[in-house]
Structure 1
């Protein structure tokens, strides 16, 4: 399964917000600049995350975005399903297929997609924004004027998960 850039960027933004000081508003242009992505694209993704109830947004000079819920309560599978949409591995309606009502292949792909989301649901946003990922984010978002709440410089716990 290949995730869209929309999901990739959304997850990056959420991991950054997970490490923000509680209640801090984070400016999306700074996040976009540090990740090397379009500000406009990231702001559209932030709007989708607001609609999903995952983040809050506030406009103005002291505005930005912040998590609307505790990152330990945000399940990764549900989050990815929200960002990607369900039933997107194969879209039989895009090029109408004469097999659509009798196809076992579509059923197999849908079942695999559900298993993918269930496996991801074993993790929370807090889980994936910890360990070496947290260290990398802290390094990338060192405190600068206008950062809106740099990640705290707390010690990083060891991460037993390979590749994180």
Structure 2
């Protein structure tokens, strides 16, 4: 009978060990996601100043450069995003949002590969209420941001 008791205890220790490992892993993953979240957003100026690694997924935001939108063959769309200082070419496969236009704000999620931002998701941002504060700040810094409806900002 003593053998059974030892087995149960051993089993409990195994379960505790597995739970502890799972906790450490999930904590590390959350920490990693949070760390990524801090530099999750970049303006085109920041991307060109310090290009992220091709593995890193981040968000880029700015204005769609006028005259840069090219709807290519199939579903691939190319355009440039600018913050008034730097310009980053973007390629995107998929359907663009209805509000997507040149000279409008946009935010894309994706990776920077060989000098082009390969977007997995594109969001159109029409005004300050939707635009991430970082985009607005980046545009204001470059002196190209106009407040909606001609308000003075």
Does TM-score exceed 0.5, indicating one fold? Answer: no
Instruction: State the TM-score, normalizing by the size of structure 2.
Output: 0.25
Larger RCO (CA within 8 A; separation ≥ 6): 1
Q: Which has the higher strand share?
A: 2
Q: Which has the larger radius of gyration?
A: 2
More helix by share: 1
